[in-house]
Structure 1
């Protein structure tokens, strides 16, 4: 990448900070089959505040620190198709659909302690899981000529 000279065609980007921002969500109710293409919500979607934006490290992601529930009232219809008859749209009712709205966000580790296996410990400063049996990893390194390599996910020395 070459160092650029000032140009009229260059735009200085504004950082997308980690904060609640409008994002599209689609409505659905547990009372109806999510995979039923004949269920119609009106409106089908809306925009609500969800955490979004950038963090300064690929190990971090923008996450919700505080949220609240907002209830949306949507109309639900069913497209009914019967043999030898015209199809019709039947009103099913107004439904209250609770939606989580993010009110406060922060950059935090994408990998959490819950993502570690029983053979791993969590390092919150590095945002990663590491093998408890590090001595076995050192021994495995001595066996490279035998075709064995260390698997950091399973914390085992195994053949390729």
Structure 2
């Protein structure tokens, strides 16, 4: 445009307006072409920049205080009917309010101080050869309304004891009477043989009288 004006091609205001309009249209076309070309040439770059958001400023860490928060609670078949397992539950999970958060010490825990029990209706679905059958079942859910850091019960605190020393297994006590030490040392003796004793013949009283008379 500056070249046209310097060469004297523009001699009136109407011609200047015409030149300005043409140049503006050309610039607009160039901008549209550049934007389209950039979008087609680098689709991955735009998607990558939209996915990753980096910040050079570090946020200040804030403690997660002990308070009720929304959690997802699974409605299992055991809750609906503990005597049967041949069915489905819909919906399988719901939102509940439960206490969670940090306390100042490991000996403290976030516990509920006020609990509300509400009842919800779920579908108990049976699949049979004839088709699908649904039954409405009421399930109680527990919501925590107020929370507080309380000491952990002593039973829940794990106390680490050293492992007990392994002792050798002792033999079972004997029912027999103990054998004396003297009897253990002595060897068994052989039985004595009986010897036939020879007795001398003694005269009878009658024979003794006869001997005395003679």
**Fold match (TM-score > 0.5):** yes
Matched, 1:90 2:100: no
User: 1:8 is paired with a residue of what secondary structure?
Assistant: coil
* Alignment equivalent of 2:87, drawn from 17, 24, 39: 39
Matched, 1:151 2:161: yes
Q: What is the TM-score normalised by the length of structure 1?
A: 0.56
Q: Which residue of 2 aligns with 1:133?
A: none
Q: Report the structure number with the largest CA radius of gyration.
A: 2
* 1:51-62 to 2 correspondences below 5 Å: 51-62=99-110
Give the number of the structure whose residues are more often helix, by fraction.
Answer: 2
Q: Which moved more, 1:97-106 or 1:10-19?
A: 10-19
CA-to-aligned-CA distance 1:61-116 (integer Å, 9 cap, x gap): 11111101101111111234x6xxxx84321x111111111111111122x14x18
Structure 2 stretches lacking a partner, 5+ long: 1-54, 167-214
What is the count of residue pairs matched by the alignment?
Answer: 111
**Alpha-carbon distance, 1:31 to partner:** 5.1
Q: Which residue of 1 aligns with 2:143?
A: 101
Q: Which residue of 2 aligns with 1:121?
A: none
Q: d(CA) in 2 for partners of 1:59 and 1:47?
A: 29
Q: d(CA) in 2 for partners of 1:13 and 1:72?
A: 38
Question: What RMSD in Å do the two structures reach over aligned CA positions?
Answer: 3.1
- In structure 2, the CA distance between the partners of 1:25 and 1:151, relative to structure 1 (3 Å rule), is same
Matched, 1:26 2:74: yes
Contact 2:80 2:139 (8 Å CA) reproduced: no
Which one has more relative contact order, counting CA pairs under 8 Å at least 6 apart?
A: 1
- In structure 2, the CA distance between the partners of 1:12 and 1:89, relative to structure 1 (3 Å rule), is farther
Give the number of the structure whose residues are more often strand, by fraction.
Answer: 1
User: 2:81 is paired with a residue of what secondary structure?
Assistant: coil
